[in-house]
Amino acid sequence: MVRMSGAERRELLAAAALRVIGNHGLSQATTRAIVAEAGMSLASFHYAYRSRDELLTEVMQRVVDGEMSAASLSLKPGSDIRNSVLDGMHAFFDYVRADPAHERALQELLQHALVTPGLHHLARAQYESYHRAATKLLASAALAAGVTWRDPLADAARFVVTMTDGITLAWLADGDTAAAQRTIELAATAIARLADPVPAEPVLAGPAPDSSPASSQDRSGCA
């Protein structure tokens, strides 16, 4: 039997839980179902996690980290602000499309956290992660494009997260990829309009030549 570290067990169990929830729903994601999906024993689960909710917390964070990493890696030096935002939103959406079960699982976990006593903080933490990542992405994009955000950066980041949420949920419901991509184009245009060019640094003029009569006489005397 191959021995695994605690980190390896956690990785396999979190990936298995994500598959079970995404394909069969949270109600079917019992501890036994998760270990069966992972090809592990029930004892292995209790070695890696203290509880099912601890595992679900890690699953939520895995999906959020993957989405935000995809968007962040899309930033290209020298892009204008609209294209930077557009690339980030397309990268996020491509990540969602690559495995819709992950996003379905995340939505189920969010609802579970909202209605389960003691777990509401997980839902809040999920969106705090989104907002932090969007804030970082917008700050980097603005620096690369030479623009500044007219409104507080936190508000612009919240707007981005709200847009991506709506696009994702609509696509999960109707599967219309072309419509989602058109919406991303509109969203990127709207977000880019929140930015203004950084004012150019003023050019400091040198001292003006002294044209006073005394100065002219001094020059004549030296000639």
pLDDT on residue 125? 86
Helix (H) or strand (E) holding 50: none
What pTM value is reported for the model?
A: 0.78
User: Which domains, from first to last, does the chain contain?
Assistant: 1-49 (1.10.10), 51-197 (1.10.357.10)
DSSP 96-117: HHH-HHHHHHHHHHHHHHHHST
CA distance 55 to 35: 12
Q: What is the pLDDT along the chain (223 residues), one digit of tens a residue?
A: 467 788 889 999 999 999 999 889 888 989 999 999 999 988 889 889 988 888 988 888 888 888 888 888 887 878 899 999 999 999 999 999 999 988 998 898 899 889 988 888 888 988 998 898 899 999 999 998 999 999 999 999 999 999 999 999 999 999 999 999 999 999 999 999 999 998 766 655 556 666 555 555 555 554 4
DSSP secondary structure letters along 167-217: HHHHHHHH--HHHHHHHHHHHHHHHHTTEEEPPPPPPPPPPPP---HHHHH
Contact by Cβ (8 Å): 55, 14:
yes
The whole-number pLDDT of residue 1 equals: 47
Please check whether residue 149 is in contact with residue 175, taking contact to mean a CB–CB distance below 8 angstroms.
Answer: no
